[in-house]
Structure 1
């Protein structure tokens, strides 16, 4: 299959790319750095297309679709993996930082799907990679959680809307994952709270599983997957648990300033 992967040069993206290439798929690798993408493509088995593109601008989706059309290399699968996060309280975040979080984590994947959707055929698959923080609102990640929560609802609604076209839409929610995207303060907070942190390979394996057996929603890790259910049914119970952590969370968020 031809699989488009955004955020391909990041910590999770590189591992996903390696796993999919080793499975024999042809990849469309999308990220900002041409140099990093070229190095990644050369390290993978098989032949792959590299597209250096900043997904932040509002024209990114249409620009990507135009390039793929010109290359005659349209995907069967779209994996929206590009994203960013920042441990920082909402009040201390600048509006530019908040807007950037929303744009890259929510609007960019929506733009990519919107532009490529007319080209997708029956049997295609869209996988949007979110976060457990899109399932549970968490201090220090207000804008990020809002964006990933929006991505989940986008995935759910779109999946229902295009079901009659036989196109699957999946939302994958990893828990904390060990990547360079995490600031030292975020790493220290996870350690202080005793949070389990997965390797990027765990996310890559989940992507491969979704490709074989599509499902609308997948949350990785325990007890995180349990907490998401509790938060949906009895949010006051999660309120109490998070309240006990609040002083610690804010202390490490201040270190990120």
Structure 2
């Protein structure tokens, strides 16, 4: 039986790149999208062209009250579309950024960051655990900003710091099922994240390249390949770790 991954936020950016990279490795994919059903269908079509099965479901991970309904949908999809009752890999990727100084960050903005990046992945993972195979893998997405500090990223980085602590505790508590749990921390990537600031701003692009050992900004494909590496049977002896994929930014 083929491996099956569930990815949150798989219709664009790093989630899309991860879904396609996993499909290249022979993995079937169920992914969520926030609101762009057309983009989701495009990803499904690309995955199918690679010879793998794919299915998408709408989900706003910050809305934790909908998670139980979502898990019911997953169970139906597993049965009807994939003829199985479980899955192998979970990638908690969905998220958005916030650029605001600590002085200007509002209560609602901080709550939103925590809901998207911490509360949503925590309760989604908790709810999906009965469906995750023993020996499976969970990968939570953090950020290089949890290691180095750039003004205006405090609230976002705080949430990502919590993701890294959450990962270690998940790894410890799920070890009895031989489930590995790791954090992948991308550096600055040229996507539409934060309105394409790294991708479209030549000054930002040049600055990132100048402080990165490999001399360029990251591309979505760099992260997709890293995800496919970590969500594989070859990574089974790696757990509770933070792996940064930044090209050596701010070493």
What pairs up with 1:105-184 in 2 under 5 angstroms? 105-183=117-195
Name 1:35's counterpart in structure 2.
38
1:185 deviation in Å? Answer: 5.4
Task: Tell me if structure 2 keeps the 8 A contact 1:178–1:200.
Answer: yes
1:125 deviation in Å? Answer: 0.6
Aligned-residue Cα RMSD (Å) equals 2.0
Aligned in 2, Cα 1:9/1:213: closer, same or farther, shift over 3 Å? same
Q: What residue ranges of structure 1 are gaps of 5+ in the alignment?
A: 227-257
Task: Tell me if structure 2 keeps the 8 A contact 1:37–1:52.
Answer: no
State the distance in 2 between where 1:190 and 1:4 align.
32
2:235 is equivalent to residue 213 of structure 1 = yes
1:137 deviation in Å? Answer: 4.2
Please list the CA deviations of residues 181-222 of structure 1 after superposition, one character each: whole Å capped at 9, or x if unmatched: 133656444534634420011111111211232422211235
Q: What residue ranges of structure 2 are gaps of 5+ in the alignment?
A: 80-85
Aligned in 2, Cα 1:221/1:30: closer, same or farther, shift over 3 Å? same
- Partner of 2:15: helix, strand, or coil? helix
What pairs up with 1:97-108 in 2 under 5 angstroms? 97-108=109-120
Task: Tell me if structure 2 keeps the 8 A contact 1:79–1:128.
Answer: yes
Structure 1 range deviating more: 116-125 or 77-86:
116-125
Aligned length: 226
Name 2:82's counterpart in structure 1.
none
- Partner of 1:121: helix, strand, or coil? strand
Task: Tell me if structure 2 keeps the 8 A contact 1:61–1:114.
Answer: no
Please list the CA deviations of residues 9-39 of structure 1 after superposition, one character each: whole Å capped at 9, or x if unmatched: 1211111111111222110011113222122
Structure 1 range deviating more: 207-216 or 11-20:
207-216
2:75 is equivalent to residue 69 of structure 1 = yes
1:52 deviation in Å? Answer: 1.3
TM-score by length of 2: 0.82
1:43 deviation in Å? Answer: 2.1
- Partner of 1:54: helix, strand, or coil? coil
Runs of 4 or more above 6 Å deviation: none
1:103 deviation in Å? Answer: 1.0
Please list the CA deviations of residues 148-177 of structure 1 after superposition, one character each: whole Å capped at 9, or x if unmatched: 000000001110111111001011111111
Name 2:47's counterpart in structure 1.
44
